[in-house]
Structure 1
């Protein structure tokens, strides 16, 4: 990946990539350049699958899409799905993705967080989709991802009535799995990734594929399990478990 990203700070480690949205002059608003750079990150994660941690610089996740750019877009750009194609790519990354959200996650910023597999929050996190107030809709996944995440009623409160979900409301709705103090949020995010990294990478990848498959999928379950049952990783892990239990 490029070491010269203009809108992202990227920390690549052995088992994960940490991406910090970094446009402090615009509350980390998602610009076309940021979209391009995030596509580059996704390409790397598709080529060499790792866990992904997404966060925002200076206790803001992302204050929305870049409104000045949106103003110039017309129907041609809308049909290109500039934001939605990226967020769907994030959603389909091979390994689990985690958004650590503090401060504003509005509009496209909220939709990027919704596209991640898991979310944790700091106490000042605010999720919202104010797009209708700007004469548009939340067209990068919120209209169908948010109801799946929090239920139709709460999703309509956010998407139609302009309700913002603070950290406690997001936790109660199941949008985030934990709320942590701001100064420990990233440490807790890495602790969660550490826990996932101790699992079988192949098992995580296949579990994510099956969970994300549409509709009922008993055949997909069986096929994925068949792959894992024949793997050396499964044999070694189960052998260690049995040996540990026997020695106790």
Structure 2
């Protein structure tokens, strides 16, 4: 198994289990603004998960009621670095490349969101397969107010996620959604209390982990395929799974359980 050494990371805090990796964005002094170091460390996480596929849970700084501090996922790209970037930096697709790599990881990605998820932080969340949030979540793309555009996935992922009218409100008018508004729009699938956020993320990871890993991986790949690839890709993928040992074992277990219930 490709293991990650937590000591190698400064902008992420890493927790590993056999079936999942939790990567907590950790630049609290700048509200987890995404800088080049964080991008590089996210690439390192992706390299490990491409070699040994596991579920990825992305989260930010949790709230602390006792200290009176609010949670934050990521306030966006690091503006100090962003201001100095020029045309060639934009053409390199620094953030869009890592977010696309995250979206294409073999196993599902869960984003657990509290507080600000703005700009690049929102685009990182859009790249996840699942998003869970809190009432305190504030999600949007204020890039146009800074004289740029949301070029790391929002212009096309957001339209797919929430539809064109609301996507234009967010991208062109600077609308920032609350947690409840994100839930109503389907941008997040679950709204929980901050203290329950990671429990909810792990519960979802548990449900995914209970499925056959190969079936999950292939289903995700087929789901992401372009329309013109269907139905041929579905048929070929199913042919692969029909030969897997897990298919025979899981179906036999289902039949055995059904027979036991019928006899009882």
Scaled to the shorter chain, the TM-score interval is over 0.9
- 1:140 counterpart (131, 152, 155): 152
Moved over 6 A (4+): none
- Match status 1:47 vs 2:38: no
CA distance in 2, matches of 1:88, 1:199: 25
Give structure 2 stretches of 5+ with no counterpart.
63-70
Cα RMSD after superposing both structures: 0.7
Q: CA deviation at 1:98?
A: 0.4
Which residue number corresponds to residue 22 of structure 1? 26
CA distance in 2, matches of 1:214, 1:158: 26
Query: Aligned partners of 1:45 and 1:168: how far apart in 2?
Result: 32
Q: CA deviation at 1:237?
A: 0.5
1:1-248 equivalences in 2 (<5 Å): 1-2=4-5, 3-58=7-62, 59-216=71-228, 217-248=230-261
CA deviations over 1:31-71 (Å, ceiling 9, x no partner): 01000000000000001100000000132100000000000
TM-score by length of 2: 0.93
CA apart distance, 1:140: 0.3
Q: How many residues align?
A: 248
SS in 2 for 1:57: coil
Q: How far off is 1:236 after superposition?
A: 0.5
* Separation of aligned partners in 1, 2:160 and 2:34: 24
Unaligned runs of 5+ in 1: none
Q: State the alpha-carbon separation in 2 of the partners of residues 215 and 73 from structure 1.
A: 36
Deviation of residue 4 (structure 1)?
2.6
- Give the superposition deviation at 1:215: 1.2
- TM-score, reference length from structure 1: 0.99
**Deviations, residues 174-225 of structure 1 (Å, cap 9, x unaligned):** 1111101110110011001001000000000000001100114101000111
Deviations 1:110-130 (A, max 9, x none): 000000111010111111100
